[in-house]
Amino acid sequence: RTVYVNGEYLPEAEAKVSVFDRGFLFADGVYEVTSVLGGKLLDFEGHAKRLERSLAELDMPSPISMEDLLEVHRELVRRNDLDEGMIYLQITRGAAGDRDFVFPDPEVTPPTIVLFTQSKTLADVPAAKTGIKVISIDDIRWGRRDIKTVQLLYPSMGKMMAKAAGADDAWMVEDGEVTEGTSNNAYIVKDGKIITRHLGSEILHGITRAAVLRFAREAQMVVEERAFTIEEAKEADEAFVTSASSFVMPVVSVDGVSLGDGMPGPVAARLREIYLDESRKAAV
Ligand code: PMP
């Protein structure tokens, strides 16, 4: 595989990052994941804009223009002959000589930028037909979940807790209300209404969420952006999650309680279809 590190395309075995890199020492970095279908990027602009915002919120200068970033994405698709999968992008505050909590001067210590591809079937996956099971766990993450940082230890632990409980993923709960999934935004459907948590610093502002809500409204579906409780989720008619790599994924049980008939619901199925159609059309 060819990867991109600080301006160079290299075979993965030759790509290196310093042991002093602040991404490694402090999780001082941000990332994005952009999906590729048919060799084209889905929602590149949305991901690029969120990246700029994440960087700005952390006072990190961008090491690359958005035009060049698009070119790097496309070049990696070409060099790796990627048809379907993801492009992972990470920018960290770079490697200062010593370990120091204080941010280094960006003029002296430039950010580190890494991109790599991952080939994976995304569209035609069995889970889209069977749905996934989620459990609820406490949301004990920090208060700036709107910044897409590489601090993913707790979400990773959440997936392990789900696995240990015989489920597929976890929904995180704060003050009785669902914030989001470990790596996706969470939705329930009740009496035809699509309910998903409002934006704020408690959740990541999903690029897929924005697109799916737009498509839902265009299709005259009713959308309510508000917090919902885990109890409401257990009584919902259906549920689903969204993310760049899972698109719209039906959820068929919450904490062992089956939703509806235990099969993916019609709203989730329809939104997945619309999202895939529209995103393919708009892919670059
Ligand atoms: N919430 C969290 C915590 C996530 O990690 C992700 C995926 N990175 C999402 C939501 C979904 O965001 P997106 O649709 O932009 O992939």
Find out whether 37 and 279 touch, Cβ atoms under 8 Å.
yes
Coil/strand/helix, residue 229? strand
**193 part of the active site:** no
The architecture that CATH gives domain 127-282 is Alpha-Beta Barrel (3.20)
**Of 49, 148, 159, 163, which is the active-site residue?**
148
Tell me which amino acid residue 53 is: R
Question: 3.10.450.50, 3.20.20.70, 3.30.470.10, 3.30.470.30: which CATH number matches 2-119?
Answer: 3.30.470.10
Phi and psi (nearest 5°) for 193? -95, 135
To test the pocket of ligand 1, the residue of 33, 54, 87, 185 to mutate (highest count of ligand atoms within 8 Å of its CB) is 185
- Please tell me the distance from the alpha carbon of residue 141 to that of residue 97, in angstroms, as a whole number: 29
Ligand 1, atom 8, lies closest to the CA of: 183
Q: ipTM value of the model? A: 0.99
β-pair partners for 239: 188, 251
169-174 vs 132-138, strand pairing mode = parallel
The residues, any chain, with a CB within 8 Å of residue 208's CB and separated by 6 or more, are 43, 184, 185, 242, 243, 244, 247, 248, 275
The per-residue pLDDT string of the chain (284 residues; one tens digit each, 9 = 90 and over) reads 999 999 999 999 999 999 999 999 999 999 999 999 999 999 999 999 999 999 999 999 999 999 999 999 999 999 999 999 999 999 999 999 899 999 999 999 999 999 999 999 999 999 999 999 999 999 999 999 999 999 999 999 999 999 999 999 999 999 999 999 999 999 999 999 999 999 999 999 999 999 999 999 999 999 999 999 999 999 999 999 999 999 999 999 999 999 999 999 999 999 999 999 999 999 99
The predicted model scores a pTM of: 0.97
Q: Where are the domains of the chain?
A: 2-119, 127-282
What value, to the nearest 5°, has the Cα angle with vertex 249 and ends 244 and 255?
120
Ligand 1, atom 10, lies closest to the CA of: 184
Place of tokens 């009785």: 176
